[in-house]
């Protein structure tokens, strides 16, 4: 088992780094969702290329 870990230490390290990055992104999205920000347009309704429906909520102060 120890020899397998030693042979794959680079792969294991990369996987751990990627997992930490993905967790940070997910936590940031959850935090933004609790603040009422939309993951689609980010609350910048003047620059929103789509009719996502979130712009009306931001304009109303929600």
Between 29 and 61, residue with greater pLDDT: 29
62 pLDDT above the threshold of 50 = no
What CA–CA distance (Å, rounded) separates 57 from 61?
A: 6
Question: What pTM was estimated for this model as a whole?
Answer: 0.59
59 pLDDT above the threshold of 80 = no
- 44 is written with which tokens? 């910048």
Closest by CA position to 33, among listed 52, 60, 54: 54
pLDDT, residue 28, reads: 93
What CA–CA distance (Å, rounded) separates 10 from 3?
A: 13
- Number of residues written out for the chain: 62
- 14 is written with which tokens? 């990369």
């Amino acid at each position: 088992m120890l020899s397998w870990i030693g042979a794959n230490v680079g792969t294991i390290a990369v996987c751990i780094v990627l997992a930490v990055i993905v967790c940070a992104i997910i936590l940031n999205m959850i935090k933004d969702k609790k603040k009422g920000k939309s993951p689609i347009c980010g609350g910048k309704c003047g620059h929103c290329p789509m009719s996502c429906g979130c712009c009306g909520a931001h304009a109303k102060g929600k």
